[in-house]
Amino acid sequence: MVKQIASATEFCWPVRVYYEDTDAGGVVYYANYLKFMERARTEYLRQLGFEQDKLKQEYGIIFAVHSLSIQYQKPAVFNDALTVSAEIIDRGNARLTFRQMITRDSDETGLCSAEVTIACLDADKFSPARIPQPIKEVLHGS
């Protein structure tokens, strides 16, 4: 679902914590938050009409994480219902930066937040590539 917040568009994706997501302490393993965020970014692009495999086939590009900064505030545990948000906060010719947050649905507690920069890459050479114009047009409207 996409919801309007002020002048920005924030995409939200629901996630349920499964037993396999947790570590020996019974909390979500730290790297799994990154997987949840990846799913939200993928679903955001899908909702905008861009399937990852089609981007490679039609435009010869892929998106890959270039860098990220993440802060963990509280743990999620087995069976928690979570909401993962993804909001584009910066756009370049060959990159997008997202602000992402994960909250627990039952009490709206913020669990972690991150800024994730993804790079547009030539799918064959794995070198930087410009984001194709049709994609830019849709993203600038988001």
Q: Are 80 and 104 in contact (CB under 8 A)?
A: yes
Residues in the chain with pLDDT < 70? 1-8, 141-142
12's CB contacts (< 8 A; 6+ apart) are 1, 2, 3, 40, 83, 84, 85, 86
Q: How many domains is the chain partitioned into structurally? A: 1
pLDDT at position 3: 45
Residue 104: beta bridge partners? 82
Write out the residue range of the structural domain in which residue 28 sits.
Answer: 2-141
Q: Which helix (H) or strand (E) holds 38?
A: helix 30-47
The question of whether 80 is a catalytic residue gets the answer no
Q: Say which CATH number the domain at 57 has.
A: 3.10.129.10
| pLDDT of 142 | 56
CA dist 27 to 14, 58, 75, 87, Å? Answer: 18, 40, 6, 26
Say how many Å lie between the first and final Cα of the chain, rounded: 13
Catalytic residue among 21, 23, 80, 105: 23
